[in-house]
Structure 1
Amino acid sequence: MTGIRDFHIWLVIVLALVLQGCATGPAEKPILDIYDTAEADYRQGLLSRAEAGYRKVIQAKPTFYDPWLRLGNIYVRTGQYEAAILMFGECTRIQPNDIRGWNNLALTRVKQGIDILDQASGYFPDERPERALLDRTRLNLVSAAQ
């Protein structure tokens, strides 16, 4: 009787492991495939396709750091600074000890500041003293970002 009971216990354990593997294994594989495809699209400069792929990945795995980082980079490259700031902010929440999120967040804010100064300079002709202030501030920001 003990042999049959031990067999049933092992059978239940094996079935539980098999079912657990079925529940997580196949679902993870397509997500990693989607991520790999998004990475290839990103490297080829197909930013809209890469963005769509990364968004699918973070929808399925919201704590997967790299897609958030890539989305932030895509948004910086396309001038969508507010969206980039949100993505890099999520990076710092997910992995606060990863310097890339913090660094990209700071650089995005600097780029945002430079764009604001460029926009403002259109309202101040070169000969106005206020223009010199804008130009100095812009130069300081550009120097700090390098």
Structure 2
Amino acid sequence: MKRISLLFAVFLLSSCAMKMEPTADLAEVQQLYAQGDYQAAVQGYERLVRILPKNAELWFRLANGYVRAGQPDAAVTAYRNALLRNPELGIAWHNLAETHLQMALQAYLEGRKYITRDDPSFSSIKAKQDKLLELMGTKEDGGGS
């Protein structure tokens, strides 16, 4: 009986230690993010979502880190993971849409480098790119033909 009680006590203590660790890690990761060390913050958030995979807020923060670290594809996946866990997280829907818009704009800008004015798709691509630029409040950087 003592052996079972001892094992149970060890289990409880290890559970408590595991629960306290993510809180300390979260503060450290948030500080890295605030300091602009986005790659280190991403690594920290990746570690935290492995520990607490059902936490929508952590997935959301990971996604924001990916955006800041220049990894939009990974950000989209992380935003979707956040929304799977909490579909009512409105800011995640907003940031997911913004990330998609930014990715679309980058695709149009990159594509315009290779499309000449006499290409049949030029007008359509330019019009859509201009609408995206206007929607996002961005000015064209002079790219394209």
| 1:38-53 alignment, distance < 5 Å | 38-53=29-44
Q: What is the Cα deviation at residue 51 of structure 1?
A: 1.1
- 1:72-129 Cα deviation digits (max 9, x unpaired): 1122223322111100000110111110111111111111110110111001235756
TM-score relative to the length of structure 2: 0.78
Residue of 118, 122, 127 corresponding to 1:131:
122
- The answer on 1:144 being equivalent to 2:135 is yes
Q: 2:105: which partner in 1?
A: 114
1:91 is aligned to 82
Q: Which amino acid aligns with 2:108?
A: L
Q: What are the ranges of 5 or more consecutive residues in structure 1 without an aligned counterpart?
A: 1-14
Query: Unpaired runs of 5+ in structure 2?
Result: 1-5, 138-145
> Once structures 1 and 2 are overlaid, which stretch shifts more, 29-38 or 71-80?
71-80
User: Could you tell me which of 51, 61, 72 is aligned with 1:70?
Assistant: 61
Q: 1:37 to 1:67 in 2, by over 3 A?
A: same
Bigger share in helix: 1
Query: TM (normalized to structure 1)?
Result: 0.78
The structural deviation recorded for 1:19 is 6.3
Residue 34 of structure 1, aligned match among 25, 33, 38:
25
Structure 2 counterpart of 1:25, one-letter code: C
Of all paired residues, the percent bearing the same amino acid is: 21
SS at match of 2:53: coil
- Between structure 1 and structure 2, the one with the greater Rg is 1
* Aligned residue identity for 1:55: E
CA displacement at 1:143 relative to structure 2:
3.1
> For 2:95 and 2:56, how far apart are their aligned partners in 1?
13
Q: Highest relative contact order (Cα 8 Å, sep 6+), 1 or 2?
A: 2
**1:87 partner letter:** A
The CA RMSD over aligned residues, in Å, is 2.6
Deviation track 1:56-83 (CA, whole Å, cap 9, x = no partner) reads 1111111122221122112222332211
